[in-house]
Chain A
Amino acid sequence: MLTLVLFNVFNGVIVGLFYVLMALGLAMILNLSGVINFAHGNFLALGGYFAFLLVPYIGFWAALVASPLIVGVIGLILERTIIRPLYPRDPVYSLLLTFGLAFIIQDLCRTAWGPNALPLTVPASINQPISTEFFFLTGYRLFIIGIVILAVVALFLFLRHSRMGMRIRAGTLDLETVAALGINVRLLRSFNFGLGIFLAGLAGVLAGGQIGLNPNMGDDLLMPAFIAIIVGGVGSMVGTLLGGLIIGVAAGVTTVFYPSGSEVVIYLIMILVLLLRPRGLLGEEGMMT
């Protein structure tokens, strides 16, 4: 029983980490640009598929970096061409646009790589079980945890200490003032968008090694990522991080006792948070609420 509980909690942590990567990227874009990116899960799938293409040529390690970069650049280009003109307009338009983008990217993936699951090969050095008793502690899963922690720490250090990061944080609080201080807000938003998409691409490579690739692999992560943002509090990146972990572990624990309830428990947590603390766990009063 203990092993079973540990197994599912551990699973929950892994799933939660994917939620976190998705949700952090989504939240960055939402906070600075006010765009709900419905295509975020599809950028994740793109990240996985590009890694699938690149691994035979440059190997897994290089693909782990190159694939998210390519996806990030695609995100950057889309932001500059079709999303930027929508910033001054009603938010319904950017929502609809990314909604349509999600359809297109998913269909392109299906056309290019087929509807069936493809495996993403992971180097043998990180893909072996570590303990026989705790069979679920495979090297690759520990590797996922390591990479996500690395990425999250790097992101938070960047946001806290770099000039660009500080501008992004300032921009989420008051974009007009930031612009008035002579900072190129358009560039800031483009970069921020690309960075958010990069995180989705990274999650895609990691998820591909874990569960394989299929055209709608990101769909199941999109809604939990929304919930992570709502639970954590819109506007707070630490909150988003916390929200992702909480709902991941909660879903994992629920799986032990009531497997089909693992999706519902995520939404129950959200309702609970909304009733008790409407701005979210770490959300600040007045931030977009």
Chain B
Amino acid sequence: MSTTTVSEAFHRRPTYGNWLSVALVWAVLLAVPVWLPAIGGYTSLATRILAFGLAAMGLNFLLGFTGVMSFGHAAYFGLGAYGCGLTLKYLANSTPLAVLIGALVGTLGGALFGALIVRRKGVYFAMLTIAFGQICYYIAYTWNDFTGGYDGLRGFVRQPISIGPLVIDIQNNMILFYYFVLATFAVCVGLMALLLRAPFGRTLIAIRENQRRARFLGIPVEFHVWLSFTISAFFTSVAGALYALVNNFADPTTLNYVISGDIVIMAVLGGMRSFWGPLIGAAMFVALQDYISSETVNWMSFIGLIFVVVVLFFPRGVLGYLRRLPL
């Protein structure tokens, strides 16, 4: 709200990146199995980054483009993960179907919660989103027979995809699985870009810039915020479903508010005023977390420091910072 001045926002089109940078992003993502092992990474790390990147971009649809703060997106991430895992375990041996049902569960959850709290404002709204996230956490945590409780949901395996005679073995081949996740990611991101370019997306930005003015112009603000909340929950729950497939495991801690905080810091770290920022933030955060937690027992302090340093010194995130440099 306060980080972009009104005139700045009106004179600059929101950046979906020019064609060159978009091409660059996709080239980098497509070539991951080639260059990542060369610098000492592993493919499932990239898969995790994509999942969290999508979650952070989904959150940013609400945070960065509608100006509404949710600190409870772990709820939708986790609902997606559990929806996906439970489908594979009890309902059907189809990975795409499981992802769809996971997304459906998370989106419905978001629509329901959103409807309850959409009239609340600012910090109070954020507190309510946290509380609702914790409800989902406790349900997953206590409902032992169905969700596996404290130990998490096990006993499901992502299934190979068969298109006619062609079988894509995403079960054992981590690289093929990475491309499956990337394809799902691409569909979601494409959809998100279309929504933001459409009049609907422009309306959301108008609400972000000046809610009162938007209301005076006759825009039904609450309805738009609710819709944005629900759409944001949809993207984040797809991400959660993909995340459950990475380890064939749904963990109750994916519903905890700690994950909500992680998703928000990814968006802020990358730059919440830009389309691709959250993906960059997710890549940095997940890679750093992966590295630090294997190097020191005091990883929590380092993660905490990342939060503090980003907030105090890089509030506009990496992309916001780069954009300010006189290049």
Contacts and interface: CB of A to CB of B under 8 A. Distances in A.
A92 B70 CA distance: 9
Given A91-B69, A104-B300, A275 B116 contact: yes
Interface in A72-114: 82, 85-86, 88-97, 99-104, 106-108, 110-111
Nearest to A92: B69
A111 B297 CA distance: 9
Contacts of B131: 223, 226-227, 230, 267, 270
Contact of B312 (A82, A90, A223): A82
Contacts of B91: none
A256 to B, nearest CB: 17
B7 interface: no
Contacts of A119: none
A90 B3 contact: yes
Interface stretch (B28-36, B39-47, B134-142): B134-142
Contacts of B304: 100-104, 107
A261 B306 CA distance: 36
Interface string B281-307: 000000000000000001011011111
A237 interface: no
Interface string A248-289: 000000000000110110010011001100100000000011
B279 interface: no
Contacts of B298: 107, 111
A229 interface: yes
A36 interface: yes
A102 B257 CA distance: 12
B311 A288 contact: no
A123 B308 CA distance: 40
Contacts of B303: 100, 103
Nearest to A261: B142
B103 interface: no
B71 interface: yes
B142 to A, nearest CB: 5
A97 B128 contact: no
B305 A104 contact: yes
Given A96-B264, A106-B300, A107-B300, A288 B124 contact: yes
A30 interface: yes
Contacts of A38: 261
B122 interface: yes
Given A36-B127, A93-B315, A267-B135, A100 B120 contact: no
A234 interface: yes
Nearest to B149: A260
A97 B315 CA distance: 11
Contacts of A111: 298, 301
A139 interface: no
A213 to B, nearest CB: 18
Interface in B137-194: 138-139, 142
A34 B125 CA distance: 12
A222 B199 CA distance: 41
Contacts of A91: 69, 122-123, 126
Interface residues of A, number: 47
A106 B303 CA distance: 12
A64 B134 CA distance: 32
A260 B142 contact: yes
Contacts of A263: 138, 142
Contacts of A226: 127, 130-131
Instruction: Among A94, A95, A99, find the residue whose CB has the most chain B CB atoms closer than 10 A.
Output: A99
B124 A85 contact: no
A265 B142 CA distance: 12
Given A100-B307, A229-B127, A278 B315 contact: no
B213 interface: no
Given A107-B304, A227-B131, A97 B311 contact: yes
Contacts of B122: 34, 91, 288
A36 B257 CA distance: 13
B151 to A, nearest CB: 15
Nearest to A26: B127
Nearest to B135: A267
Contact of A289 (B3, B121, B312): B121
B268 interface: yes
Interface in A18-43: 30, 34-36, 38
Contact of A90 (B2, B124, B305): B2
Nearest to B63: A92
Given A34-B122, A92-B63, A230-B131, 13 more contacts: A35-B123, A36-B71, A89-B315, A95-B71, A96-B265, A97-B307, A97-B308, A100-B305, A103-B304, A234-B124, A264-B138, A264-B139, A271-B116
4 A-B pairs with the lowest CB-CB distances in the bound complex, closest first: A100-B307, A103-B304, A104-B304, A107-B300
12 contacts: A82-B308, A89-B2, A90-B1, A91-B69, A91-B122, A95-B71, A97-B312, A104-B304, A223-B131, A234-B127, A263-B142, A288-B122
Interface of A: 30, 34-36, 38, 82, 85-86, 88-97, 99-104, 106-108, 110-111, 223, 226-227, 229-230, 234, 260-261, 263-264, 267, 270-271, 274-275, 278, 288-289
